[in-house]
Amino acid sequence: MIDFEEELKKFQPSLEVEEAEEAIYNHDLTDMTDILQEMLKEVRKSQ
């Protein structure tokens, strides 16, 4: 049977995951809120 506590002690995350995490957090991504704000600005300008 697998001893999960022992396996967790041996766990080391791969460098690829850490690198991807850093790239995602350091990259300014446009989200739905940003898009909606831009749309509202355009609508208000055209009125």
Instruction: Sketch the domain layout of the chain as residue ranges.
Output: 4-46
Greatest Cα pair distance, the chain, in angstroms, is 69
Q: What angle do CA 29, 31, 35 make, to 5 degrees?
A: 120
**Residue pLDDT, tens place only, 1-47:** 889 999 999 998 777 888 888 877 877 778 888 899 999 999 999 88
What is the C-alpha to C-alpha distance for residues 47 and 34, in angstroms, rounded to an integer? Answer: 21
pTM score, two decimals? Answer: 0.41
pLDDT at 22: 83
pLDDT attached to residue 29:
76
